[in-house]
Amino acid sequence: MRIILFGPPGAGKGTQAKLIQEKYGIPQLSTGEMFRAAIKNETDLGKRVKSIMESGELVPDQTVVDLVAETLIDPKYDNGYILDGFPRTIAQAEAFDRILEENGNELDTFISLEVEDDELIKRIMARGEGRSDDTPEKVKVRLEVYNNETAPVKNYYEQQGKLSIVNGLGSIDEIFERLTSLLDNL
């Protein structure tokens, strides 16, 4: 099963992706987590993306696409995966389509986890993970970037007939229940 879990910052993608990973035994691939790990380990990639990530802007498409392509070579992704935080621009979505095609694979579904802006800001401020991009100013930038650059990605997959919409309001369990009933009926 190959799934994209899509949604604005604070929608709960990471939380739900981990639950899906556990239940269905398919690995989660989170570009944001990979960048945070690279920064923490002070790798070359980490050094290149640190200031961009901290500003709340997007890492350049080529950097992200190269990272995803290299990561997916690992045989652990052969039976499927759940993408969280990627693709985030139309150019990334197009590049991902080429990666799928080269590997003879297809995407099963693109799930849009939907939560309104007021609730997102509340959640991010409450989560207290100590992320340097979780301050009110950076969250504002991230939401703007999301609305301008990332939201159009949903239409891209809608045109491919792959879009599923899931209400992201409610408890973690309630939302997971909505996701599993969708995935179990694919």
The yes or no reply on residue 12 touching ligand ADP (CB under 6 A) is no
- Measured between alpha carbons, how far is 11 from 16 in angstroms, rounded to an integer? 9
- Measured between alpha carbons, how far is 90 from 180 in angstroms, rounded to an integer? 27
Buried b (16+ CB within 10 A) or exposed e, 9-32: bbbbbbebbebbbeebebebbbbb
Closest residue to ligand ADP: CB criterion: 32
Q: Which of 2, 36, 88, 178 is catalytic?
A: 88
Please say if 98 is a catalytic residue. Answer: no
Interface residue with ligand ADP among 39, 88, 166, 175 (CB under 6 A) is 88
Q: Which of 2, 138, 142, 178 is catalytic?
A: 142
- Measured between alpha carbons, how far is 96 from 105 in angstroms, rounded to an integer? 11
Q: Which of 23, 98, 127, 140 is catalytic?
A: 127
**Could you give the residue numbers annotated as active site?**
13, 88, 127, 131, 142
- Chain positions contacting ligand ADP, by CB under 6 A: 9-10, 31-32, 35, 52-53, 56-59, 64, 85-86, 88, 92, 133, 142
